[in-house]
Amino acid sequence: MKLPEFKNKKLFDQVFIHRSYLNETKDMLESNERLEFLGDSILSLVVSAHIFDKYKTSKEGQLTSIRSVLTNTETLYEISKELGLGELLKLSRGEEAGGGRSNKTILANTLEALIGGIYLDQGIDAAKKFIEENIISRTEKIIEAQGLKDPKSSLQEKIQETHRESPVYKVIKEEGPDHDKSYTIGVYIDEKLLAEGVGKSKQEAEKSAARNALQKMLK
């Protein structure tokens, strides 16, 4: 997988500037947060339009589920890893020491910033092409692997085949400022941790944890 070439080198560099890096440089730089905001909106629009056209008989709830699995933190993180985005990040020494280059939320956010950067540098058609080649192309594979059903419901059904108790979700870690929170949530049965999940909201993190627990059970 290859990154697109930018006409504006300064804009390309901004894609990879994490907010923590600004505390350790005297250069007048801007973090990638605004690009992330823009890229998130473009990604949602392009994916929504695609699945609206492709799945003509699907209801709104099903379309929302498909969009969710294509644009959630876990999916974007995996694509970011394949693109090698972590190697290009500019982080503070503290963030670096804390494993920032492999942090799921940071890498997912950076992919969204890259999409925003492509749009500003080359226009909507280039951004759409990038999304189609790197994200939409995985639609069938992701749907097959994760299913359209809510992973929390699937996990509940799976666990209740052998247990009376329902899975319990607990917040393990909460990071970031109020406008850009990241949650790590664990799913437990009988006080035993089954899996963890990460997301920009508690609901997304819970679904991620349930999905990861299901994948473990299928191994």
Residues 6+ apart with CB under 8 A from 148: 62, 65, 66
Number of domains in the chain: 2
Q: Catalytic residue among 74, 95, 112, 206, which?
A: 112
Residues 6+ apart with CB under 8 A from 24: 92, 93
172 and 130 within one domain: no
Per-residue pLDDT at 193: 96
Paired with 168 in beta bridges are 188
From 146, 172, 194, give the residue that closes a domain.
Answer: 146
Per-residue pLDDT at 144: 66
Domain span including residue 95: 9-146
What is the domain-level CATH number for residue 70?
Answer: 1.10.1520.10
pLDDT of residue 147: 56
- Taking the chain (219 residues) in consecutive chunks of 10 residues, what is each chunk's mean pLDDT? 91 96 84 97 98 86 87 94 96 91 96 98 98 92 66 83 90 90 95 94 92 80
Q: Give domain status of residue 195, yes or no.
A: yes
Do 130 and 157 reside in the same domain of the chain? no
Q: Identify whether 40 is a catalytic site residue.
A: yes
Give the pLDDT score at 41: 98
Which entry of 36, 40, 95, 121 is annotated as an active-site residue? Answer: 40
Residue 215 confidence (pLDDT): 81
Given 83, 116, 146, which residue is the final one in a domain? 146
Predicted TM-score (pTM) of the model is: 0.71
Do residue 142 and residue 158 come from a single domain?
no
**Are residues 28 and 132 located together in one domain of the fold?**
yes
User: What pLDDT, on a 0 to 100 scale, did the predictor assign at position 146?
Assistant: 59
